[in-house]
A and B are shown apart, each in its own frame.
Chain A
Amino acid sequence: MIQTIYIMWLRQLKRYWRSKPRLIGSIGQPLLFLVAFGFGFSPVFEKAGGVDYMQFLVPGIIAMTILFTSMFTGIEVVWDKKFGFLKETLVAPISRTDIMVGRTLGGATISVIQGLVVLVLTLLIGFRPISWFSIIPAIFFMFLVSIFLTGFGTSIASRIDDMQAFPMIMNLLIMPMFFLSGALFPIDDLPSFIKILVLVNPLTYGVDGLRATLTGNLSFSLGLDLAVLAGLSILVNMVGAWLFSRIEI
């Protein structure tokens, strides 16, 4: 069982590593956001209350990188359906849970690597975490968020056969999750109807956990962030395993 999960994980990492355009392309967007928003809004935030917006924004941008990478990992399932490889795993004597977990761990590892690449780049342009040790719990949060989002994207992908439709559906989910997560602005004093949307958005808790570990700014509590993300991770993977067991081709 461990071997099955490992070989599925390894396959995804190999594919990722061999696709250089994907490696480079997926950090372009977060960098653009970082530069445009970071340098664009910094003066405004400074005038408003002396907050260092760059410090505030970086955890949000890392969360964004993970959001995009994880959710789009699901497209590999659609690819595998299209190019036939999925059948190879479906006729194998392995549990559908192993298939789901192997895929999720593979995608999540890639997301964390992408997140770390972005973190290193932000260090180069001046971002400083509260302490270097805080990077360790931050990586843990990155991993949790990645597992949830990869499981989510993969579950959805198991029901989709259309390669053109997948990115559209993903964007439909990703955009509100990103904008209503507190990645770009503080969520403490929002008008109540927005606040409700922010509170039901799982990514909010990921952003909060990342920001708390990296910069010390906490809106909820680390316990709540952890509980929400861990609970949802287990849930989406269970649902995903069930959906995989129902795939018929």
Chain B
Amino acid sequence: MEMIEVENLIKNFNGFTAVDDISFSVGEGEVFAFLGPNGAGKSTTIKMLTTLLKPSSGKLRVNGFDPLTQQDDTRRSFGIVFQDQSIDEELTAYENMEFHGVLYGVDKETRTRRIRQLMEMVDLWDRRDDYVKYYSGGMKRRLEIARGLVHHPKILFLDEPTLGLDPQTRNNIWEHILELNADYAMTIFFTTHYMTEAEKVANRIAIIDHGQIITSGTVKEIRSSTSTGSLEEAFLQLTGRSIREENASSMDRMRLRRRMRG
């Protein structure tokens, strides 16, 4: 069964086409990497799949639901870790988890059990009553991943989940994610700029540039079609070496800086 289906998706912002007629699908239990340079349209696509942004045209299906007309069904189907932080730092880690559970209508008993189990999984249970503002960058990320799972979603969206983290934390976070994928056949849709990461964990990859998907397939397929030795080389060959200007709002940039420091 296809968990994510995208057909001829287009998004225009005042004359600028951020996503230009893309189509792809992700099957149940797949680990799917969505790669591309800055400003290629990755986050815009994720926002449309997760009901935060309305497409200009095209067809979307998430867990069989239409994010435009079946918003709440769609929202219940996925968990998400955003590119920039989205936890309340003035609350404790546990309170953030609890807040999420209540918003998703998880009943008290189940909620209490799952929160403990998930916080133990990401090694934060002992620090559950600390304010998140005292957490390190890696701890915040782990908390966000755990939070996104409280309602047992079928799909997990991860928008650059390991940005600004050290290799130890990155490996640790991927271990958790792959465990979830193996244990619950949870579909993983992620973006990253670390090509080795994508090479290691993704079943399938799509590379997007200037709003268009330029190639897709397994790592092997992409490497052989470009006759390169690594995904990074293939990526550079396909997308060129010039540095991109991301069209981010001042708000995104500020959040990003905060996270990089944190």
Contacts and interface: CB of A to CB of B under 8 A. Distances in A.
Contacts of A25: none
A13 to B, nearest CB: 12
Interface residues of B, number: 35
A93 B104 contact: yes
A84 B141 CA distance: 13
Interface string A76-100: 0000011111011111111000000
Nearest to B72: A93
Contacts of A85: 86-88
A80 to B, nearest CB: 8
Nearest to A99: B103
A233 B47 CA distance: 32
B52 A248 contact: yes
B171 to A, nearest CB: 25
A7 interface: yes
B91 interface: yes
A122 B230 CA distance: 74
A91 B50 contact: yes
B76 interface: yes
Given A82-B251, A88-B87, A93 B102 contact: no
Given A84-B82, A93-B105, A248 B54 contact: yes
B91 A4 contact: no
A47 B47 CA distance: 66
A52 interface: no
Contact of A7 (B52, B87, B103, B258): B103
Interface in A196-249: 248-249
Interface residues of A, number: 25
Interface in A11-27: 11, 14-15, 18-19
A96 to B, nearest CB: 10
A161 B253 CA distance: 13
Contacts of A91: 50-52, 75, 78, 80
Contacts of B86: 84-85, 87-88
Given A84-B86, A85-B87, A87-B82, A94 B249 contact: no
B52 A249 contact: yes
Nearest to B82: A87
A3 interface: yes
A81 B88 contact: no
A169 B54 CA distance: 29
Given A91-B50, A91-B51, A4 B103 contact: yes
Contacts of A94: 72, 103
Interface in B77-122: 78, 80, 82, 84-91, 95, 98-100, 102-105
A88 B89 contact: no
B127 interface: no
Best-buried of B86, B100, B258 by chain A (most CB within 10 Å): B86
A85 to B, nearest CB: 5
B214 interface: no
A14 B95 contact: yes
Interface in A87-144: 87-94
B255 interface: yes
Given A7-B98, A84-B86, A93-B103, 10 more contacts: A7-B99, A15-B91, A81-B251, A83-B89, A88-B87, A91-B75, A93-B71, A93-B72, A93-B76, A248-B53
Which 8 pairs between the two chains have the least Cβ-Cβ distance? A84-B86, A93-B72, A93-B75, A92-B103, A7-B102, A93-B76, A88-B86, A84-B85
16 contacts: A4-B103, A11-B88, A11-B99, A14-B91, A15-B90, A83-B255, A84-B85, A84-B86, A84-B87, A87-B86, A91-B52, A92-B75, A92-B100, A93-B73, A93-B103, A93-B104
